[in-house]
Structure 1
Amino acid sequence: MKTVIFDLDGTLADTSQDLIAAANVCFKGLGLGALLDPAKDAGTALRGGRAMLTLGFSRVDGFGEPDIAGQYQVLLDAYAKDIDHHTVMYPGAMDAVEALKMRGYGVGIATNKPEGLAEDLLRRLGVRGAFASLVGADTLMVKKPDPEHLFEAARRAGGIAALTCLVGDTATDRNTAKAAGVPSILVTFGPSGENMAALNPEALLERYEDLPAIVDRLMGAA
């Protein structure tokens, strides 16, 4: 079976506001206030917790060497409590997923979000059952951009590892697909959408209703 594997944050769902709120919990706890802006820093949020913490601490003069590892756990705890307060699926995402399944593709998720958090978020959003696989940052010994992360998501979705494509929103997703030798489709509607063309993916996705046709073009009919 051919498969379509999706990134989660910034691809299927806009999780940026809840991620930034969790990072700001860390900064406020240290007496630094809310160092990240939900709008201006959304792109950094979708690159992960450590990227947010690094950016925030870089804005504080004279703070010293930040404890990124320790604060990362604080961030995860805060995020777990309010994981779906602002998060929404992107328009048309689930319709596209169902259309792909009707065409015979397997669908799954490969995310660098910890697996437990990803499971919880998808269940709260009511969409976990639509995906045959979910491989998170801590599911394997490796994560994206290691191609095995993508391959395992494809296998768990009932597919053949080499017969897949990756839908994502970052250079990490592009590099994962390139390392795997499979096509990448990068979305342009996220916070960093204007930068996606420069990554030279096999396709750009402006709206989810176009995804099934793009997948068919890149992979052939399933």
Structure 2
Amino acid sequence: MAGTVVFDLDGTLADTSADLIAAANACFRARGLDVALDPLADALTAFHGGRAMLRAGYGRINGDLLLPPGAEEEDYPRLLDHYGANIAVHTRLYPGVEAALDVLEADGHVLTVCTNKPGSLAETLLDALGVRHRFASMIAADTLPVRKPDPRPYRAAVERAGGSVAASFLVGDTETDRKTATAAGVRVALVSFGPEGEAISRLAPDALIGHFDELPDLARRWLG
């Protein structure tokens, strides 16, 4: 076994922003709110999670309308329910993902996922995209008592896949992934095709990936 490649999910393997935004907008409509998030302009907010989307929408309410206390706690499970029922309407794997996974596997690498998405939703999405079987393990937001950027989920993802943390690296798209890699003592490659584009270089990752066809060569250099 050459090594282990650990992937984030949302914004890294798949562009999930449109379906996430749709779930938040469904909550706003149910309250009769004249606000909506945009699938393109608010994609980065979507990748920060359901609560971030709800707060962004609430913050755009004009006039004297006041939300009732606990609105976020009421809407968050509704958002998850809507999202779970419509999880892959617009979501697609990023270009080159499956071809890159093919080459990584042929080179002897083990693949795994470490995500802050709730486990049931992550399993459902990977199944819907037809790639769950490609990953030897998956650690989600609720698998352990802690989540990224705590290094323990990353380590668990590698170890449950039968790998060694010392012979692994993380592929991600956010500051959370950058911090996770630093905490785990591993290298990180951040994708530059997400909402931030090349601006993600501000996080000084060990590598930037502009397309998934760059990943196999990077893995060969880093893992052998």
Contact kept? 1:169, 1:193, Cα under 8 Å:
no
Q: Distance in 1 between matches of 2:156 and 2:73?
A: 27
Does 1:199 find its partner at 2:203?
Answer: yes
8 Å contact kept, 2:35–2:60 = no
Provide the TM-score with structure 1 as the length reference. Answer: 0.95
User: How far did residue 69 of structure 1 move?
Assistant: 2.4
Deviations 1:39-88 (A, max 9, x none): 11011111111111111111114424562222111100000110000000
Q: Could you tell me how far apart the structure 1 residues matched to 2:129 and 2:210 are?
A: 23
Instruction: Write out per-residue CA displacement over residues 156-187 of structure 1, whole angstroms, 9 at most, x where no aligned residue.
Output: 11101232111000000000001111000000
SS in 1 for 2:165: coil
Query: Please, which runs of 5 or more residues in structure 1 have no aligned partner?
Result: none
Task: Give the 3-state SS of the residue equivalent to 1:149 in structure 2.
Answer: helix
Q: Which letter does structure 2 place at the counterpart of 1:87?
A: T
1:220 corresponds to:
223
What is the Cα-based RMSD across aligned positions, in Å? 1.3
TM-superposed CA distance for 1:38, in Å, is: 1.0
Structure 1 residue 124: deviation in Å?
1.1
Identity %: 51
Map of 2:90 onto structure 1: 86
Amino acid in structure 2 at the alignment position of 1:176: T
Pairing 1:40-189 to 2, within 5 Å after superposition: 40-61=41-62, 62=64, 63-64=66-67, 67-189=71-193
- Tell me the residue number matched to 1:38: 39
Residue 155 of structure 1, CA deviation: 1.0
Q: Secondary structure at the match of 1:138?
A: coil
Task: Write the distance in 2 (CA, Å) between the matches of 1:18 and 1:55.
Answer: 16
Give the conservation status (yes or no) of the 8 Å contact 1:12–1:89.
yes
From the superposition, tell whether residues 27 and 148 of structure 1 become closer, same or farther in structure 2 (CA, over 3 Å).
same
The 8 Å contact of residues 113 and 137 in structure 2, kept in 1 or not, is answered as yes
Query: Counterpart amino acid of 1:220?
Result: L
Q: Secondary structure at the match of 1:150?
A: helix
Q: What is the count of residue pairs matched by the alignment?
A: 220
Normalization by structure 2: what TM-score?
0.94
Unaligned runs of 5+ in 2: none
In 2: Cα distance, 1:216 partner to 1:186 partner: 17
Structure 1 residue 105: Cα displacement: 1.1
Structure 1 match to 2:20: 19
Q: Is the 8 Å Cα contact of residues 34 and 61 (structure 2) preserved in structure 1?
A: no
Tell which deviates more after alignment, 65-74 or 153-162: 65-74
Bigger drift between 191-200 and 108-117 goes to 191-200
- The Cα shift of 1:23 comes to 0.4
After TM superposition, which residue ranges in structure 1, 4 or more long, deviate above 3 angstroms?
none
Q: State the alpha-carbon separation in 2 of the partners of residues 11 and 71 from structure 1.
A: 26
Name the CA distance, whole Å, in 2 between partners of 1:48 and 1:89: 19
Structure 1: which amino acid aligns with 2:12?
T
1:60 is aligned with what amino acid? I
Give me the whole-angstrom Cα distance separating, in 2, the residues matched to 1:34 and 1:71: 15
Q: Is the 8 A contact 2:4 2:168 kept in 1?
A: yes
Offset at 1:34? 4.4
